[in-house]
């Protein structure tokens, strides 16, 4: 082969190599990536995680086809035959429907695969995928166990059903007067049979009384569900303080009613309070509660507060520690069994008499407040409705605890008393309300033989 022939052969070889390299470069598949967020979404129109946002990136001009496939292999969405996309990012939003048209239909809850297929001008293709969970239903929660009485930690059992792999569970507590208690902390759990413990160190900070309990669960898509409401009685020892009046409560007073001996008077007092849309506090011995269960339930149902007056109106100053404790526990338990409420944390000793062992027994039974009074019209002597009213108006002032009894003369004068209190801009509220508003004080009280 002469030199010229060798040059031709070399040139042909070089051309073949160049052509092969160019051909190889053109048939290389495009690079495509897909990122979908949030991983769980809920297209229910609440403005939170209503759609999933898929960010697709390609490195060269391509025809981009997007398909969404259910976990059963059914294609529920497609933009075929695709769209032309330049190098860079393409953003796609899916709202959980079969297409973007008006006739689009919502798809069922479940797991879906978003697939992006990129085809370049040579026919080379590549695909990227991401899995998302569409969940429009709130978690379903069913109680498995709730204690009736709690003396240390609060231990709960619940069955949770949801598509999400993780739930945020939060405890809600409302005390007997309707105050929502601040509860910190969130339980993170997967659905299934769940055992939850609210520690003793937190439970013991609550005042002994009856509480309403509910558990809420929120899944990653923002759907929230809740259990039914249950009630439990919190029982633990406390330090008892003597209350006779309050300061720092504005122009509020507490109307309190003892003994509950007269059913007609009790019913009349409740009607009057309902007519004026006011709440009061009742101290009824356990025996009277058992004797008049419908009136007791009505008192609680209409939103009035209750406290203990002992089981049988015994004079606590003459009782032993053990006898006092027994009467306080029995009185509390009869209210709990009858109406799922508790007399704790308020105890008024009959006649206003007590001794050191009485305070110790009250604290052991969960009564944080031994409630006396600073206004006593001695209505138990039945001096006449006008006399009872004038005695109250002569001494009542902001923060007063007014002692009255469930008797006919007291019931008869109550509408007039409320009107006169209103004219003085004094608003009757319950003892728990006064407790929230201000500071209790034992000052102003002296025993008069009433109560």
For this structure, is 374 an active site residue?
no
For this structure, is 405 an active site residue?
yes
> Alpha-carbon distance 62 to 128, whole Å?
14
With tokens 């100053």, the residue in question is 317
Q: Identify any residues that bridge with 195 across adjacent strands, giving them in sequence order.
A: 157
Please name which of 373, 134, 353, 348 lies closest in space to residue 245, comparing C-alpha atoms.
373
Q: How far is CA 42 from the centre of its chain?
A: 23
Q: Which residues of 311-332 are buried (b: 16+ CB within 10 A; e: fewer)?
A: bebbebbebeeeebbbbbbbbb
Measured over the CA atoms of residue 36, residue 37, residue 40 and residue 43, the dihedral's sign is: negative
Query: Which residue among the candidates 135, 258, 259, 376 is catalytic per the annotation?
Result: 258
> Alpha-carbon distance 393 to 389, whole Å?
6
Q: Determine the straight-line distance between the first and last CA of the chain, rounded to whole angstroms.
A: 134
Q: Which residues of 146-163 are buried (b: 16+ CB within 10 A; e: fewer)?
A: bbeebeeebebebebebb
Helix 408-423 crosses helix 263-275 at what angle (to 10 degrees)?
Answer: 20
Query: Which residue among the candidates 252, 304, 309, 405 is catalytic per the annotation?
Result: 405
**Phi and psi at residue 6, in whole multiples of 5°?**
-65, -40
Catalytic amino acids? Answer: 258, 405
């Amino acid at each position: 082969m002469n030199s010229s022939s060798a040059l031709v052969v070399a040139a042909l070889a070089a051309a073949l190599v160049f052509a092969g390299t160019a051909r190889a470069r053109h048939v290389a598949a495009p690079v495509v990536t897909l990122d979908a967020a949030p991983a769980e979404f809920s297209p229910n129109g609440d403005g939170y995680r209503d759609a999933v946002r898929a960010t697709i990136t390609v490195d060269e001009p391509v025809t981009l086809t997007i398909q969404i496939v259910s976990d059963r292999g059914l294609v529920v969405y497609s933009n075929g035959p695709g769209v032309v996309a330049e190098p860079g990012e393409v953003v796609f939003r899916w709202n959980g429907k079969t297409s973007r048209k008006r006739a689009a239909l919502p798809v069922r809850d479940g797991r879906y695969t978003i697939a992006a297929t990129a085809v370049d001008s040579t026919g080379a293709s590549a695909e990227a995928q991401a899995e998302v969970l569409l969940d429009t239903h709130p978690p379903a929660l069913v109680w498995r166990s709730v204690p009736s009485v709690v003396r240390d930690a609060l231990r709960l059992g619940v069955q949770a059903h949801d598509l999400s792999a993780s739930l945020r569970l939060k405890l809600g507590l409302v005390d007997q007067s309707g105050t929502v208690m601040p509860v910190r902390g969130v339980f993170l759990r997967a659905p299934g049979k769940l055992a939850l413990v609210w520690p003793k160190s937190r439970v013991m900070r609550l005042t002994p009384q009856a509480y309403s309990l509910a558990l809420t669960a929120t899944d990653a898509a923002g759907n929230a569900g809740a259990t039914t409401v249950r009630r439990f009685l919190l029982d633990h020892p406390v330090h008892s303080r003597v209350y006779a009046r309050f300061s720092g409560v504005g122009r509020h007073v507490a109307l309190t009613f003892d003994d509950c001996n007269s059913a007609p008077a009790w019913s009349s007092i409740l009607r009057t309070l309902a007519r004026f849309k006011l709440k009061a506090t009742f101290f009824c011995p356990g025996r009277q509660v058992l004797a008049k269960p419908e009136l007791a339930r009505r008192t609680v149902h209409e939103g009035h507060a209750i406290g203990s007056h002992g089981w049988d109106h015994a004079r606590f100053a003459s009782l032993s520690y053990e006898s006092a404790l027994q009467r306080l526990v029995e009185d509390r338990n009869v209210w709990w069994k009858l109406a799922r409420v508790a007399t704790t944390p308020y105890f008024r000793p009959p006649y206003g008499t007590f001794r050191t062992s009485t305070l110790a027994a009250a604290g052991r039974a969960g009564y944080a407040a031994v409630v006396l009074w600073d206004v006593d019209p001695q209505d138990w002597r039945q001096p006449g409705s006008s006399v009872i009213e004038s005695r109250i108006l002569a001494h009542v002032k902001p923060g007063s605890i007014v002692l009255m009894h469930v008797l006919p003369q007291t019931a008869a004068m109550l509408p007039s008393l409320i009107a006169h209190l209103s004219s003085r801009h004094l608003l009757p509220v319950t003892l728990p309300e006064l407790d929230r508003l201000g500071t209790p004080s034992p000052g102003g009280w002296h025993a008069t033989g009433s109560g």
